[in-house]
């Protein structure tokens, strides 16, 4: 049974790769004799046996890859397409038959907990609840489950929750493109009378000498889901002693009923009375600080519950984000001349037009850079939050799931304002300060602190072929720069550009005289990335939005043509020479950044012909960027014509070529990689594609310029990586999560090549 299920007490943090972060963290608490309800973990091997290696595993992998591409779309994911793919994937999971071994092991462990006991069934995805990714509320949990059949159904539901739009968007935004795996925690239910969350550091200010507790009546999902405004308690970690308390606004509670979860309305007396006494708040704080001590002093996010007699811990995980502010601020702001006051849930400051939405289904109406205002937050809002400049809600606490995710994504967030959806006016420009919990009228430029410079670290596995990283978000630059990477091989401009444009079409911005503002915003974002990676190179791919994506920006319909096939339409290099005023703004921002961090370089995408590249380079040379020493000029090799034209491109001054294997494969094989009907035709290792890649690399090597490849294949296929190494490619560029595996694959391929060369030389001597 050990291959399928393991008792919580037998698990440690080292087991996170098979029990998930939630299961491994709970195992550590049990081992430390902290009060944890008894339970066990259904290991990821069960999911792999039933789903990954089941009858639909191959189809599921293909759909998952496509769904990640949709969720990663630089202009915002297609909600309809993502919903369709996710629904199909969940259906495949539910169709997978449970094997006898898995079924018997899960049921036997359940009976070991007692006779038809009530349990909580909670997802524990691999990588969840880690130091860098909380997956807060992303995957499913079921409470008050009783009976064998209901238990097994809940387990499969947890497995299927890997494939929801919110999970796919979260993974895509965090660069997690590998096949997902999941374990499931089963624990005896606590009859929760009061419950909530404790942070052993203030998530709004980053102070390590504070404990923040949020509490509500009944079960804790009303706190973490943002369904209600909980009571908030601030304690000094020394002691601990209570510093301040704020009564929330809770009108209902979720409790255990005979047929599962039950919602009950609270009386006026219950609503007006604080959930915890001072002694109870101090007990929660002391216990949470014990969890922190168990994890070498690293701040923790702890979920807890009181039954009729005692305190229980039901979950613990590292706090994934903390700001660096050291000043004393309570989690609610002091009175000020503001439109709204709420809880400071995610630090930072951003301005934008208000967009009031009533449900995640309306998310597609929010334009990039607008301020999302909603009644409450839950993980289903994630695809929308990822495009918002800031988030403001009526209810919820600063430890609710969406607030945690907002902090991870760097989206300023104020929750628990109570009246945001009625006080704020649709379209009005406001400034959201997630550090103070204030929403002010008008626009105020955000104050950015200079990021620390991260020095290059020694590579764990030295390789001659460089391993670069693909990057799109400045928010994660420092963390990625501290890993084993040689630089940024592909800095996608699209996210930076849409943020800098504040949701507007660039020509609309120019017409309003805001070109300088665009340059300022773009250069700030770029500076954060280049500083983090200095002196390692950062290769910036200029804007490559297609006409349909540009049309979605404010004012876009006035400037963009309607094309039947935008993928091979008005984009890339040709657009720059037709609209030089827009491209010039980008070049100006790059020149400003290179004055301080000269490790930034330019890559021109979708180059079709020699003459358009020549005209484009004239634009580069005409401005301040062209006069800067040390600038490398790259082209993306996406159009098959590059095989013929590359020598002449090099003659024009190009000194780097990066192969965009996704587009190159589409155009060589004539297949849309987003087509499920033709999915089996899309193959980056097709002989015709490999021949083109080989010829590009050969040309680059013979002319002594840099060659690289950025695409999905090196991230997931070691055999493809070996092909590239044998061709003599200079570097590969992969997603952040794929760097360790890519480095190992490169090192192994290089060792095999050297061994073969040594054997060949030895045989020649003989």
Residues annotated as part of the active site: 401, 710
Strand partners for 36: none
Q: Where are the alpha helices (DSSP H) in 600-681?
A: 610-622, 642-651, 661-669
Half-sphere exposure of 351 (CA within 13 A, CB side): 15
CA distance 379 to 753: 47
Structure-block tokens of residue 633: 């000029």
Structure-block tokens of residue 141: 């949990």
DSSP state of 116: S
Backbone angles phi, psi at 28, to 5 degrees: -65, -40
Structure-block tokens of residue 394: 């009526």
CA distance 433 to 390: 9
* Strand, coil or helix: 239: coil
> Please, are residues 322 and 404 in contact by the beta-carbon 8 Å criterion?
no
Nearest to 11 by CA among 34, 44, 35, 40: 40
> Please, are residues 642 and 609 in contact by the beta-carbon 8 Å criterion?
no
CA distance 22 to 135: 10
CA angle, residues 603, 604, 607, in degrees to nearest 5:
145
Sign of CA dihedral 107, 113, 118, 123: negative
**At a CB cut-off of 8 Å and minimum separation 6, what does 2 contact?**
none
Q: 10 Å Cβ neighbour count for 467?
A: 27
DSSP state of 51: I
> Please, are residues 157 and 141 in contact by the beta-carbon 8 Å criterion?
no
CA distance 416 to 411: 16
CA distance 455 to 495: 25
Strand partners for 222: none
CA distance 97 to 159: 13
* Strand, coil or helix: 732: strand
Backbone angles phi, psi at 141, to 5 degrees: -130, 145
């Amino acid at each position: 049974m050990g291959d399928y299920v393991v008792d919580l007490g037998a698990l440690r943090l080292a087991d996170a790769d098979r029990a998930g972060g939630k299961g491994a963290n709970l195992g550590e608490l049990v081992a430390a004799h902290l009060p944890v309800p008894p339970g066990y973990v259904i290991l990821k091997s069960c999911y792999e046996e039933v789903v990954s290696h089941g009858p639909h595993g191959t189809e599921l992998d293909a759909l998952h890859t496509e769904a990640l591409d949709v969720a990663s779309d630089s202009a915002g994911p297609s909600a309809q397409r993502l919903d369709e793919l996710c629904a199909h994937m969940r259906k495949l999971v539910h169709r997978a038959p449970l094997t006898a071994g898995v079924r018997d092991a899960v049921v036997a462990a359940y009976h070991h907990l007692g006779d038809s006991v009530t349990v909580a069934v909670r997802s524990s995805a691999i990588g969840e609840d880690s130091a860098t990714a909380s997956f807060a509320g992303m995957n499913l949990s079921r409470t008050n489950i009783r009976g064998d059949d209901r238990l097994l159904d809940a387990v499969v539901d947890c497995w299927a929750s890997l494939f929801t739009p919110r999970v796919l968007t979260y993974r895509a935004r965090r660069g997690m493109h590998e096949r997902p795996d999941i374990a499931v925690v089963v624990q005896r239910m606590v009859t929760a009378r009061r419950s909530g969350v404790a942070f052993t550091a203030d998530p709004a200010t980053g102070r390590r000498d504070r404990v923040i507790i949020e509490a509500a009546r009944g079960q804790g999902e009303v706190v973490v889901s943002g369904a209600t405004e909980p009571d908030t308690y601030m304690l000094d970690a020394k002691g601990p002693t209570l510093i301040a308390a704020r009564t929330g606004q809770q009108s209902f509670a979720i409790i255990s009923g005979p047929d599962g979860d039950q919602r009950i309305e609270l009386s006026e007396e219950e609503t007006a009375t604080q959930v915890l006494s001072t002694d109870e708040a101090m007990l929660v704080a002391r216990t949470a600080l014990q969890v922190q001590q168990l994890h070498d002093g690293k701040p923790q996010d702890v979920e807890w519950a009181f039954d009729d007699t005692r305190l229980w811990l039901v979950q613990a995980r590292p706090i994934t984000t903390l700001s660096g502010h050291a000043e004393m601020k309570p989690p609610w702001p002091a009175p000020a001349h503001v439109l709204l006051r709420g809880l400071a849930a995610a630090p930072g400051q951003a301005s934008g037009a208000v967009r009031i939405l009533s449900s995640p289904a309306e998310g597609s109406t929010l334009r990039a850079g607008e301020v999302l205002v909603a009644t409450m937050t839950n993980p289903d809002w994630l695809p929308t939050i990822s495009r918002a400049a800031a988030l403001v809600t009526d209810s919820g606490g600063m430890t609710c799931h969406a607030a945690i995710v907002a902090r991870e994504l760097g989206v300023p967030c104020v929750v628990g304002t109570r009246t945001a959806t009625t006080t704020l006016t649709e379209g009005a420009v406001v400034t959201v300060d997630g550090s103070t919990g204030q929403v002010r009228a008008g626009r105020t430029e955000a104050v950015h602190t200079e990021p620390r410079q991260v020095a290059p670290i020694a590579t764990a596995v030295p390789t001659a072929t460089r391993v670069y990283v693909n990057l799109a978000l400045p928010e994660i630059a420092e963390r990625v720069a501290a890993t084993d990477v040689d630089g940024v091989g592909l800095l996608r401009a699209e996210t930076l550009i849409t943020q800098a444009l504040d949701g507007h079409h660039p020509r609309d911005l120019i017409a309003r005289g805001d070109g300088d503002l665009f340059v300022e915003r773009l250069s700030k974002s770029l500076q954060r990335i280049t500083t983090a990676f200095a002196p390692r190179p950062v290769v910036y791919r200029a804007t490559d939005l297609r006409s349909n994506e540009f049309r979605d920006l404010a004012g876009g319909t006035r400037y963009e043509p309607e094309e039947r096939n935008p993928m091979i339409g008005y984009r890339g290099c040709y657009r720059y020479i037709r609209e030089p005023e827009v491209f010039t703004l980008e070049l100006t921002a790059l020149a400003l950044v290179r004055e301080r961090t000269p490790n930034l370089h330019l890559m021109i995408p979708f180059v079709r012909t020699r003459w358009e590249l020549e005209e484009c380079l004239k634009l580069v040379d005409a401005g301040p960027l062209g006069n800067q020493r040390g600038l490398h000029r790259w082209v993306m090799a996406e159009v098959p014509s590059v095989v013929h034209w590359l020598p002449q491109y090099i003659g024009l001054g190009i000194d780097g070529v990066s192969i965009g294997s996704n587009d190159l494969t589409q155009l060589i094989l004539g297949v849309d990689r987003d087509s499920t009907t033709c999915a089996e035709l899309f193959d980056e290792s097709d002989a015709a594609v490999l021949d083109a890649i080989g010829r590009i690399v050969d040309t680059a090597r013979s002319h002594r310029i840099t060659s690289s490849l950025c695409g999905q294949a090196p991230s997931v296929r070691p055999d493809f990586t070996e092909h590239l190494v044998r061709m003599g490619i200079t570097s590969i560029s992969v997603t952040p999560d794929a760097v360790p595996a890519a480095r190992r694959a490169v090192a192994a391929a290089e060792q095999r090549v050297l061994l073969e060369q040594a054997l060949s030389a030895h045989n020649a001597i003989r």
